[in-house]
Amino acid sequence: MQELNSISARPLTSKALLPLSFFAFYFLSVYIIVNPVLIYHGGSTITNFPVFFTTPHFLHQHLVYPAGPGQYIYALVAQFFNFNAAGALIITAQTWLIFIALTYISKKLNAPALRHLSYLPPLIILFLYNHYTFHFAAFNTIAVQLILFCLYLKLPSKIKPVALIIASPIIYYILGPSLLYLVLLCIIYELLISKNYINAIIYAAQAAIIPYIIGVIYCDISLTNSYCDLLPFSWKTTSFSDRSKMLNFVYLLYALPVAITFLAGIFSIIKKTSLKTKNKNPFYKTATLVAILAIALTATSLAYDKKQKTFFAIDYYSYHKNWQKVLDLAEKLPNNFFAVHHATAALYHSGKLNDGLFKYTQHPDALLFSDNKTISTNLTVFDIYLDLGIINLAEHYLARNISRLGERDIFLQRLAWINMIKGNTETAKTFLTALSKTLFQKEWANKQLKAIKQDPSLANNKEILSARKNMLQKNVSMATITHKDFLTYLLEANPENKMAFDYLMAWYIITKSTDKFINCLDQLPDFGYKQLPTVYQFAILAHTYSTKKNVNLQGYKIPQQTIQYAKQFYALMNQYTGNEQLQLKILNEKYGDTYLYYFVRKFNRMSEFTGRPK
């Protein structure tokens, strides 16, 4: 009886508890570490995240070409990455299906010794998500094709060829060229295991013919797309650096089921027996497997790209106006212009701009971006332009990103708002109508459509009126205008635009144009300044020390403590005159987050930001 219990315990442990435990921890790893919601909002890096609309037209667009139905379903499912738990559940289910399929294939091909390889694809997929790549369609494709291959193996031998020949056109219509992957597995099976060479020849022929007839001839699709769409080596993936990132791991993922099928066939030829494991020490083997999987899962989870995650998180929290989170995260990317840009905006909105500006590694190019210096853009850039009042530039970047990234709801929402500000209500209604057909922005869109219907000019909307008041009125050339001109013209349009004034003062300080900064001190009372902010105090002292000229403080005072602090800085700087490298190192360690240090450091010799006053 005890022996019987021992025998029954092993299947329970290995076949149920172990996979359940593995994927439970897998879900937690995706949920806690990856945070799929960050991938959903990764608009500047992930250029192939699918858009989705609930309109019949959008559905019809996906029903008229091969792979369209599959892409429609994939796009719908991907939208739920917008919820962290749902996204983690989708990724876990996706990998679990692959695991179940490979386990079944190993068993069906009499190669149970290979079943432990079934844990490798989930680890590969987790590793790819941990590095914030998006190969969602490729993962779905392999999951579905492996399930179909399992169904093929389950069929009686006589029915297999008939079923595949009949089902192939349907599979091709729904899933496109990914049919070729299924056919490849079937051909290997027929050649090495079933030894039915006629079936293999028939399958190869139909794999060559079906895409050409349905794709090229009937649907007028290019030859490349007819044979490659939805597969990882499609030009739609390989031609873009962001989409082809870590693509070799996707190839490895696709090669693994082929290798398992091939090895099972080779061993059946060589040994004429099944590739089975021995039953000695079952609990020892299970314990070993548990340890290996635990180590592998932990290592894969901890090997996430911390910098990428931080960047994605900054983008996400900026979108949701969680400024404290932005500030905390920006400290982890001290020399990243985008992070500094986000942090500067967060400082302003938190009322800390003129006290904490140099807690982040500032640079002139990080305050505002321009076309010739912006490699890629993200949502927060548009929000800064919208907040300042540079509406046309915000619209330009949004339109450009829609052309690169598709009609993402987060971009359509901003374009709708811009046209509401500009008074282009008919254009705004077009964007709002499109938004009302999305899954997550429809409530906001319907609310705005109702507001426009009740008040076509939006003359009673305080937020819109405030934005219109800040709008840049001057007709300028976006190609030649400077950052200073932007901010100056904004103040001409609305002398009460505090954000424009604070950013102009920050621009003078960051570019070390302290003379222009000094000339604007008389405007501080107009913007409610009762005392000089910390950054302004240091800027005045730096200007005084470098020019040896007195400054009219316009009635403000600099605390004696601050003056003493500056004297200590310059005394230390003079102590190491002649050894610039050591001088900057010492100053950075003690004064790294002050304007005093920034003022004496050269832009082209940005040392790593390390210092915090104690």
What's the pTM? Answer: 0.86
What pLDDT is recorded for position 24? Answer: 87
Residue 22: count of CB within 10 angstroms of its CB: 22
Helix 560-575, helix 534-547: angle, nearest 10: 50
- Reported as a pLDDT band with limits 50, 70 and 90, residue 612 is very low
pLDDT-based confidence at residue 610 (cuts at 50, 70, 90):
very low
Q: How far is CA 499 from the centre of its chain?
A: 29
Among 60-74, 262-276, 391-405, 449-463, the range scoring the smallest mean pLDDT is 262-276
Note the pLDDT of residue 302.
Answer: 66
Are 131 and 294 a contacting pair, CB within 8 Å? no
- Return the number of other C-beta atoms located less than 10 Å from residue 582's C-beta: 10
Q: What is the pLDDT of residue 146?
A: 96
Query: Does residue 375 have a pLDDT over 50?
Result: no
Phi, psi of 509 (to 5 degrees): -70, -45
pLDDT tens figures, 221-240: 999 999 998 888 888 888 88
Q: Is 574 left (phi over 0), alpha (psi -120 to 50) or beta?
A: alpha
| Burial class, 578, CB count within 10 angstroms (exposed 0-12 / middle 13-18 / buried 19+) | exposed
DSSP codes of every residue in 372-436:
TT-SS--HHHHHHHHHHT-HHHHHHHHHHHHHHH---HHHHHHHHHHHHHHT-HHHHHHHHHHHT
pLDDT score recorded for residue 363: 83
Q: Is residue 478 very low, low, confident or very high in pLDDT (cuts 50, 70, 90)?
A: low
In this prediction, residue 1 carries a pLDDT of 44
Mean pLDDT over 14-21 rounds to 75
pLDDT (0 to 100) of residue 293: 67
Amino acid 600: pLDDT? 84
Which of 12-26, 345-359, 442-456, 517-531 shows the lowest mean pLDDT across its residues? 12-26
Alpha-helix residue ranges (DSSP H) falling in 160-246? 160-175, 179-189, 197-210, 223-228, 235-238
Is residue 290 very low, low, confident or very high in pLDDT (cuts 50, 70, 90)? low
Q: How confident is the prediction for the chain on average, in pLDDT?
A: 85
Could you tell me if 115 and 256 are in contact, meaning their C-beta atoms sit under 8 angstroms apart? no
Tell me the average pLDDT across 597-610: 58
Which of 154-168, 350-364, 371-385, 529-543 is predicted least confidently? Answer: 371-385
pLDDT number for residue 134: 92
CA dihedral 119, 123, 125, 128 (to 10 degrees): -160
- Residue 263 above 50 pLDDT? yes
What percentage of the chain carries pLDDT values higher than 70? 87
DSSP, residue by residue, 296-346: HHHHHHHT--HHHHHHHHHHHHHHTT-HHHHHHHHTTSTT-HHHHHHHHHH
| Overall average pLDDT of the 552-559 stretch | 91
Roughly what angle, to the nearest 10 degrees, separates helices 160-175 and 136-154?
A: 160
For residue 521, is pLDDT > 50?
yes
Of 455 and 243, the one with more pLDDT: 455
Residue 381: per-residue pLDDT: 72
Q: What is the pLDDT of residue 282?
A: 54
Mean pLDDT throughout 182-194? 93
Higher pLDDT, 168 or 479: 168
438 burial (CB, 10 Å; 0-12 / 13-18 / 19+) is buried
Q: What is the pLDDT of residue 417?
A: 94
Positive or negative: CA dihedral 417, 46, 39, 74: positive
At residue 603, the pLDDT reads 56
- pLDDT in the model for residue 576: 82
pLDDT (average), residues 108-121: 85
Specify the length of the chain in residues: 614
Which positions ≥6 away from 139 have C-beta within 8 Å?
94, 95, 98, 125, 253
Which pair of tokens denotes residue 574?
Answer: 């003079």
Lookup: tokens for 130: 């941990």
Of 43-47, 67-71, 74-78, 311-315, where does mean pLDDT reach its minimum?
43-47
Taking phi over 0 as left and psi of -120 to 50 as alpha, with beta for the rest, 284 belongs to alpha
Confidence of residue 37 (pLDDT cuts 50, 70, 90): very high
Give the pLDDT confidence score for residue 304 in this predicted structure.
80
Per-residue pLDDT for 303 more than 80? no
pLDDT tier for residue 339 given thresholds of 50, 70 and 90: confident
Identify the pLDDT of residue 275.
Answer: 52
pLDDT of residue 278: 53
Q: Examine the pLDDT at 509 and tell me if it is beyond 90.
A: yes
pLDDT over threshold 90, residue 587: no
pLDDT of residue 307: 86
For residue 371, is pLDDT > 50?
no
**pLDDT score recorded for residue 51:** 92
Work out the average pLDDT over 242-248.
Answer: 86
**Nearest alpha carbon to residue 98 among 75, 112, 118, 80:** 118
Mean pLDDT of the 1-29 span: 66
pLDDT in the model for residue 142: 94
Please compute the mean of the pLDDT values over residues 261-285 and round it to a whole number: 64
